[in-house]
Structure 1
Amino acid sequence: MTAIKHALQRDIFTPNDERLLGIVNVCKAGKKKKNCFLCATVTTERPVQVKVVKVKKSDKGDFYKRQMAWELRDLTEVDAKDANKENPEFDLHFEKVYKWVASSTAEKNSFISCIWKLNQRYLRKKVEFVNVSSQLLEESVPSGESQSVTGADEDTLDDYQELNAREEQDIESMMEVCEYAISNAEAFAEKLSSELQVLDGANIQSIMASEKQVNILMQLLDEALAEEMLQSVKEQMDHISQSNRLIQLSSTNNVHLLEEIEFLVNYMDLSKGHIRALQEGDLSSPKGIEACINASEALLHCMNVALRPGHDRLLAVKQQQLLFAELRDAFARRLTNHLNNVFVHQFYRASYLSLPGHDQSSSLSQHSMELMLPKHSPLHRDLLRYAKLMEWLKNTQREKYEGLMGTYVDYMTRLYEREIKDFFEVAKIKMTGTSKEGKKFATLPRKESALKQETESLHGSSGKLTGSTSSLNKLAVQGSSSRRSQSSSLLDMGNMSASDLDVADRTKFDKIFEQVLSELEPLCLAEQDFISKFFKLQQQPVVGGWMEACALECPLLLTTDTLCPQSKWKDTVRLMMNKIFHSIEVELNNLIALGDKIDSFNSLYMLVKMSHHVWTAENVDPASYLSTTLGNVLVTVKRNFDKCISTQIKQMEEVKISKKSKVGILPFVTGFEEFAELAETIFRNAERRGDLDKAYVKLIRAVYMNVEKVASESQKTPRDVVMMENFHHIFSTLSRLKISCLEAERREAKQKYTEHLQAYVINSLGQPLEKLNHFFEGVEARVAQGVREEEVSYQLAFNKQELRKVIKEYPGKEVKKGLDNLYKKVDKHLCEEENLLQVVWHSMQDEFICQYKHFEDLIGRCYPGSGITMDFTIQDILEYFSSIAQSH
């Protein structure tokens, strides 16, 4: 601090006619450490002005500059935070409050004491001192490097004077006389100090002797006036002045020499305890690690001290620097070997259960019930004790640091690769049901027929959603009881949902897949967090050596010329994670492929789960390894989902109908209902709802198109019946599920159902009173030709007698018989599942009554007063329809 103080006085304050009385090294509280100095100064001219000046190093760091100054009279309060405990923080209240943290409590106390003294001496308005010990304000400022200038310093401040050639030669001669001037700086400093005291005494005696001589000279001057001896008096005075100047200069140079020696001793001296810790410190125990950390930091501080001009030419400094370099290299080797051994020990301890010859009770088969990944938090906890030493190694021996990084990655890659492989094997076994068949199913390529046989053996006669889809191409529409295939599709979903086994299998798959992702997520995050902390990659990237080799495998990850520093260290972490966990993406894709083979509808579960975990990982860190890897796997899952939807549409298009049986509700219509119910359950509150909505639209359009196709090709069942029943089923499904994106399709389904219901009723009912209908068609034709309605009865072909003949042919008994045959015909056309028979029958009743009322209206208008009526009434018609419906 003395050297800094001297430099500030010389470079900043002396040119401004100011004296530096107090100084403290501070940084702003709560911010990144950017050190500066607060200086208490007074002007050399009167009236005296007292200021607090903020000084900091320039950006290049080669000189100091004045940044800000405050008048002491503007200071209202000094808050030392705590009067009883050591606390480096303090506040200065000017127009606003400035919060500072001193480099040490002693410096803070010294500075506050200096401010107090200046306040007492120069200001009328006294500053308020809060949380400051009264003893500190009353006692004098303590000595040492942090001591501020006292009252004596306020009077004089010697300027630094560079040694001239003669003085430099005198100092070198003096150091040659003293043999230990270089080897033992402390002894030499003590000798200089004692000689300085002798010189000070001689100086005082000389001054005292000078006083006597001055008195004598005064008397001689009086005599010289008379005796003309002034020339000898002048020479004597010059001699005394020269003698005093030489004494003072020698004293000043000795002081500066002592300061230089103290600087070297203080900043380039490493304690024996630190040296012993670096050479022999126990790197296995917490206390030993802490001692090594402190010693390594002290060594780094000594090696990085900024030497003053000329220091590097001193033999003692060169010897000390050589000692520091040897200590650094030796400790780096010892630390590297120890950490290598720690990595090896931790690796084999973690993988001990998998080593040959170990107790087989710990094997995979015994742990198949536990789908869990081993936790490595104990390993991380043990290694984090060395984090500060790794940072030291990074700053001093980059090559060894990168070598340790490569060693760690190599060992952990092998460990995680085995653990992840075993973990995914357990997941595959759990998905397929049995260990032996599960492994074979998950790993061996087979034909579709073999896959079908194995699946049936795994899950029984009820069938699993696997196997060949070739049978779908020849599927006949025969009835709901026979709609079953070996592949999950919209054609067989209707029956699959009725199987408790299918529901249980899908629930089991969902839980297994979620557990796999839930185990991988904390594992990757914990390892990434450990790597960042242990290798100190939060701020500074590591590019070179081992990292360059890794970059060759993935050159896009390191673009050191274009990326910001934060992106660089993130890429470094991601490179290490990619190396360690390279098997995760492969194993996940294999697991996804297996799940898709087991049941193509598993892609719905996987899309929702994977999307959620990608979203979670991106919220934590969008650029993390976990986020990137899961995002890549999500692309595969989305492709499988799209493939599943495309497969369902293709299977709809390939459906063929039977020529011998009625169609009824098409299997892909009921399949869409089951798909929608399943999807709505899976995608409730899901992030990827938009993907499902797009799939809905594709599927429903394909369903509509293929319903119309099957209806047009149907020979046994009328087209209107196929359309009416299937669109009624679709409308009911969409109304029940309330899928917002299919609202337009729901209205379209209702419209198509209504249109084809009306068309079927009209076409099936036809003209049950055919002759009567033809008769009245003729009547309407005559009226249309211009014959008045009341004159129609005078037409020969349409007189009253002809009308009675036609009405007589349709007695109530015959009408009922005809309606009974119509009911049987409709019953053959309609299927039981949709239960639309009564709806159709009621519509036919309304249509028949409508025709009856039309005939009665024509009779009333064209044959008024004739008294001609039908053989049956509307009430009779209602009874006919009701009794026929009840009898069947």
Structure 2
Amino acid sequence: MASLWSSLEKEVFNPQNKKLLETIRVWKTGKKKKMSILCVVVDAFRPMQPFLVKVKVDRGEQYKVAYRWPLAELKLVDGKTLDQVNLDFDLQFDKIYKWTASSFDEKKTFIRCLWKLNHRFLSSAITFVNVHSCSVEGRQGLQEDRRDTVETENQEELSVYQEMTPKEAADVLKLMEEHEPLVNNSIAFAEQLSRDLHVLDETHLDLGKEHCEALNCADLSSPRGVEACIAAAEALSVCMNIQIQSGYRKLQAVAEQLIMFETLKQNFENRFIGHVTNIFERQGSAQIPALTQPVDKLSAPSHRLQHKELVPYTPLMAWLRNANPVLFCDLPKVYAQNLSRLYDKEIKAFFEQAKTLLVGRRKGSLQEGLEKPTGMGSRQHPRWSLPGSREDQEDTLNKGNVIKILEQVLRELRPLCIAEQLFIEKFFQLRQNSAELQVLEEEGSTASPEDPACAKPPSQPEEQTAQLLSEIFSSLDPELRCFLDVCNKAHPFSCLQILVTLNDCIFEMWGKTSALPSSFLNTVLGNMLLLAKSSFNKCIGTLCKEIEEAKVPSKMKIGILPSVSRFEEFVNFSEAVFRTAQRRAELDKAHLRLADSVFNSINSLSSANLKVNTDMVMMENFHHVHCFLCQKKIQCLESKKKEAKQRYSEHMEKYVIRSLGQPLEKLNLFFEGVKARIAQGVKEEEISFQLAYSKQELRKVIERYPGKEVKRALETLYRKIHKCLSPEENLFPVVWHAMEQELLRQYREFEDLIQRCYVGSGITMEFTMEDLLNYFNSITLSSM
């Protein structure tokens, strides 16, 4: 109050030549948020006129006069009720202002000041209602008792009264004006001193004896002792946080109490920190049980007992954080350093168990399983599928085992990390939002290895939380990387399973908006996902290179290329793995890369020195790719499916035309020459006058291809095609039908050229179109 009084005088009223007589902190009744200060002031010089001034405090802690009323305009002061606990009062000027005081003492002092000014300056013009008699009347009853005596004395004084001269009256008035501020200041100082002494009297600078004993003994080993220490520490904080003016601290009794409180606090802090540090060191040095026999189920370590031992000290940790933040800041680091040793041993044992379950079951030893070469990275031993082989059966079992073991590992790690994060956030007060922490506790408490979706990690922890978890789980990242390397060596395409499993795990953690993700666990899994994507891309790159560089077998009958079979194997396996995946962008990109490599591998046959027809091999392989893609219905490969169909049709057409040139070779060459002359500009009716294409030459060529000779040539062609084409593709009927249609087209073209270029010659082919149809039908029926 003293600082408020001096600030108002200095900043507001002294510059205006006003004298401050009384203040009261008020707010409009029902609107407590907007507090104002009502000040009673008078002019510093005569004629002194009293005013009531309303002062507001702005955001910059500056005082500003909001309104001013001459006290002569005040009509009524209503104290509302005689009850002392009522803080409301009304002041009536032109309208009624309803106020609520901050304390009853201030209200009483303020009304008393108004009453005095009313009698001194306003001749009791203001009406006071519902005001306690002690507030305004003082000892009115005593005055009434002595009224007669006073009147008698006044009469005696009147008999000896001498009127002052004007000069004496002026001197008296001058003297009164000079000492008026001193009189007012002395009254205000006495009232302020009374209030300060009352506050000091009510200040409880006394700590109970039982609390002092609890802090001195510091029994932190028993639940009852911990509860007593918590209560004593809270009581000590209350005593030490009492607001005491700096002048009071010089009092001997107050100083001795404060010194005793500080001594108790420091001694208890040292004992509590030592006790908790010993628990951290003991837990970090604990030994993990050794596995004496193989187990079939993974089980991550649980720190429920360690957390349960430390939870009772949580209130004391909160107290220490407020009492001594410097000492508190070191405890999380000590906890992380000690518990990281225990977690290192447990995590290494956990992953050793996982590796044993993954590869030890088949090979009998972990080291032998780890030394297994990968088919994807070895160019000396490319792995082609061998259905029904023992290696294929083992590989099929291994494929399923990778997913199963990896899912178990992630399922066990999630509640382990979440439980530790929830504990350190609560124990070390790292999360300020208690409501959010409570929700996370309820979600984390239901987590179990069989139900990973129940573990709902928290969102965006403090940076200190992430640092602590990184130190506590310092071995998690390298051990998880090593385990993924083992998974990658299980079989060539295990990188797909790793990618899908990690993707699904992260999507599951982020699936529900109410489940807030763990920053640390997501960071670790995010790094593993990047590693899995890198391994997957390397696998695809190696496979593409393997497909493009695959050597074509140098034999008469090639059939489906190994690169096509490899592509088909990969697509079948990848689609089975990604069947339930929530994200397949990486797989679609891989499919397109592999399809391009397969197409390049097939196209490279055109430059290969093969013993068989290149168009036939390319036709068969493009046909096989097209049929396979039609069966799979993969959206990203629709364009490749259409391209495969187009290339298959093109190469079948080339193969048919080239094959039909053998039975009617001379006839084809003759009419190709005729078409060339027409293209050069020779008129059709002048072709027969060309020496090489005369009627005589045409008759000689036609005579070389009688019906029997054509049929014999077609039979030879049929046997050759049947021998070269792969039976698995079942393309022979399609090719044979295409040849039939092509030969009929050529026959019609030859007849048309004869009619146009050799008009009136009477030259005709020695076999008809019906003969050709009969030849094809008879050859087909004879081979069935």
Question: Which segments of 5 or more consecutive residues in structure 1 lack a partner in the other structure?
Answer: 29-35, 72-109, 130-136, 160-200, 453-464, 473-484, 541-566
1:645 and 1:149 mapped to 2: Cα distance? 84
Aligned partner of 1:533 in structure 2 is 426
Read off the aligned partner of 1:340 and give its amino acid letter. T
In the TM superposition, 1:279-678 aligns within 5 A as: 279-280=216-217, 283=220, 289=226, 291-343=228-280, 354-355=288-289, 363=291, 365=293, 368-377=295-304, 379-380=306-307, 382-398=309-325, 400-434=327-361, 437-441=364-368, 446=371, 451=372, 469-472=378-381, 485=382, 487=383, 491-492=384-385, 499=392, 501-538=394-431, 570-613=462-505, 624-678=519-573
**Percent identity (aligned):** 36
Aligned partner of 1:155 in structure 2 is 112
Read off the aligned partner of 2:359 and give its amino acid letter. T
Read off the aligned partner of 1:588 and give its amino acid letter. L
Q: For residues 663-712 of structure 1, what are the alpha-carbon distances to aligned partners after superposition, in whole Å with 9 as ceiling and x for unaligned?
A: 22111212112323333444468676443344334333322222233453
Check the 8 A contact 2:395/2:491 in 1, yes or no: no
In the TM superposition, 1:60-209 aligns within 5 A as: 113-115=86-88, 117-118=89-90, 147=104, 149=106, 153-156=110-113
Aligned partner of residue 24 in structure 2, secondary structure: strand
Read off the aligned partner of 2:568 and give its amino acid letter. E
- How far the C-alpha of 1:322 sits from its partner, in A, is 0.7
2:616 and 2:327 mapped to 1: Cα distance? 82
2:480 and 2:633 mapped to 1: Cα distance? 35
1:585 and 1:654 mapped to 2: Cα distance? 37
Q: For residues 333-388 of structure 1, what are the alpha-carbon distances to aligned partners after superposition, in whole Å with 9 as ceiling and x for unaligned?
A: 3322332354456667xx57x35xxxx7xx3645x322232333454355344333
RMSD of aligned residue pairs (Cα, Å): 5.3
Check the 8 A contact 2:622/2:647 in 1, yes or no: yes
In the TM superposition, 1:767-778 aligns within 5 A as: 767-773=662-668, 776=671
In the TM superposition, 1:685-724 aligns within 5 A as: 689-724=584-619
Check the 8 A contact 2:687/2:693 in 1, yes or no: no
Pick closer, same or farther for the CA change 1:673–1:468 going to 2, 3 Å.
closer
- How far the C-alpha of 1:294 sits from its partner, in A, is 4.3
Read off the aligned partner of 1:717 and give its amino acid letter. V
Aligned partner of residue 725 in structure 1, secondary structure: helix
Check the 8 A contact 2:550/2:563 in 1, yes or no: no
Read off the aligned partner of 2:495 and give its amino acid letter. S
Pick closer, same or farther for the CA change 1:797–1:674 going to 2, 3 Å.
closer
1:721 and 1:67 mapped to 2: Cα distance? 103
Check the 8 A contact 1:278/1:295 in 2, yes or no: yes
1:675 and 1:585 mapped to 2: Cα distance? 30
Aligned partner of 1:20 in structure 2 is 24
Q: TM-score under structure 2 normalisation?
A: 0.73
Pick closer, same or farther for the CA change 1:788–1:655 going to 2, 3 Å.
closer
Pick closer, same or farther for the CA change 1:794–1:634 going to 2, 3 Å.
closer
- How far the C-alpha of 1:583 sits from its partner, in A, is 0.6
1:534 and 1:286 mapped to 2: Cα distance? 17
1:346 and 1:413 mapped to 2: Cα distance? 10
Selected match of 1:760 from 646, 650, 655: 655
Between 1:5-14 and 1:312-321, the stretch displaced more is: 5-14
Q: For residues 718-738 of structure 1, what are the alpha-carbon distances to aligned partners after superposition, in whole Å with 9 as ceiling and x for unaligned?
A: 221222222222333344444
2:357 and 2:672 mapped to 1: Cα distance? 75
2:387 and 2:597 mapped to 1: Cα distance? 17
Q: For residues 847-866 of structure 1, what are the alpha-carbon distances to aligned partners after superposition, in whole Å with 9 as ceiling and x for unaligned?
A: 11111112222344456677
Pick closer, same or farther for the CA change 1:865–1:470 going to 2, 3 Å.
closer
Between 1:748-757 and 1:816-825, the stretch displaced more is: 748-757
Check the 8 A contact 2:461/2:519 in 1, yes or no: no
Aligned partner of 2:711 in structure 1 is 816
Pick closer, same or farther for the CA change 1:393–1:225 going to 2, 3 Å.
closer
Aligned partner of 2:448 in structure 1 is none
- How far the C-alpha of 1:591 sits from its partner, in A, is 0.9
- How far the C-alpha of 1:805 sits from its partner, in A, is 6.3
Pick closer, same or farther for the CA change 1:850–1:404 going to 2, 3 Å.
same
Q: Is 1:751 aligned to 2:755, yes or no?
A: no
Q: For residues 588-631 of structure 1, what are the alpha-carbon distances to aligned partners after superposition, in whole Å with 9 as ceiling and x for unaligned?
A: 11011111122231112222333454567789889933233333
Read off the aligned partner of 1:727 and give its amino acid letter. F
Selected match of 2:627 from 732, 735, 740: 732
Check the 8 A contact 1:12/1:66 in 2, yes or no: no
Pick closer, same or farther for the CA change 1:848–1:417 going to 2, 3 Å.
same
Check the 8 A contact 1:730/1:749 in 2, yes or no: yes
Between 1:667-676 and 1:384-393, the stretch displaced more is: 384-393
Aligned partner of 1:851 in structure 2 is 746
Check the 8 A contact 1:762/1:847 in 2, yes or no: yes
Pick closer, same or farther for the CA change 1:389–1:754 going to 2, 3 Å.
same
Pick closer, same or farther for the CA change 1:827–1:333 going to 2, 3 Å.
same
Q: For residues 553-580 of structure 1, what are the alpha-carbon distances to aligned partners after superposition, in whole Å with 9 as ceiling and x for unaligned?
A: xxxxxxxxxxxxxx99933222211211
Check the 8 A contact 1:37/1:55 in 2, yes or no: no
Q: TM-score under structure 1 normalisation?
A: 0.66
Check the 8 A contact 1:610/1:630 in 2, yes or no: yes
1:213 and 1:665 mapped to 2: Cα distance? 136
Pick closer, same or farther for the CA change 1:146–1:329 going to 2, 3 Å.
farther
Check the 8 A contact 1:711/1:722 in 2, yes or no: no
Aligned partner of residue 118 in structure 1, secondary structure: strand
Aligned partner of 1:278 in structure 2 is 215
- How far the C-alpha of 1:587 sits from its partner, in A, is 0.7
Aligned partner of 2:447 in structure 1 is none
- How far the C-alpha of 1:315 sits from its partner, in A, is 1.0
Q: For residues 741-790 of structure 1, what are the alpha-carbon distances to aligned partners after superposition, in whole Å with 9 as ceiling and x for unaligned?
A: 44444443333222221111111221523444455567668877857649
Pick closer, same or farther for the CA change 1:211–1:842 going to 2, 3 Å.
farther
Question: Which segments of 5 or more consecutive residues in structure 2 lack a partner in the other structure?
Answer: 14-18, 43-48, 70-82, 117-137, 434-458
Check the 8 A contact 1:711/1:718 in 2, yes or no: no
Q: For residues 276-319 of structure 1, what are the alpha-carbon distances to aligned partners after superposition, in whole Å with 9 as ceiling and x for unaligned?
A: 44345764676765554443233224323343132222111210
Check the 8 A contact 2:332/2:428 in 1, yes or no: yes
Check the 8 A contact 2:203/2:242 in 1, yes or no: no
1:522 and 1:670 mapped to 2: Cα distance? 43
1:880 and 1:588 mapped to 2: Cα distance? 71
Aligned partner of residue 20 in structure 1, secondary structure: strand
Aligned partner of residue 607 in structure 1, secondary structure: helix
Pick closer, same or farther for the CA change 1:225–1:863 going to 2, 3 Å.
closer
Aligned partner of residue 721 in structure 1, secondary structure: helix
Aligned partner of residue 471 in structure 1, secondary structure: coil
Q: Is 1:679 aligned to 2:636, yes or no?
A: no
Q: Is 1:263 aligned to 2:200, yes or no?
A: yes
Check the 8 A contact 1:23/1:111 in 2, yes or no: no
1:838 and 1:67 mapped to 2: Cα distance? 107
Read off the aligned partner of 1:118 and give its amino acid letter. D
Between 1:309-318 and 1:19-28, the stretch displaced more is: 19-28
2:93 and 2:84 mapped to 1: Cα distance? 16
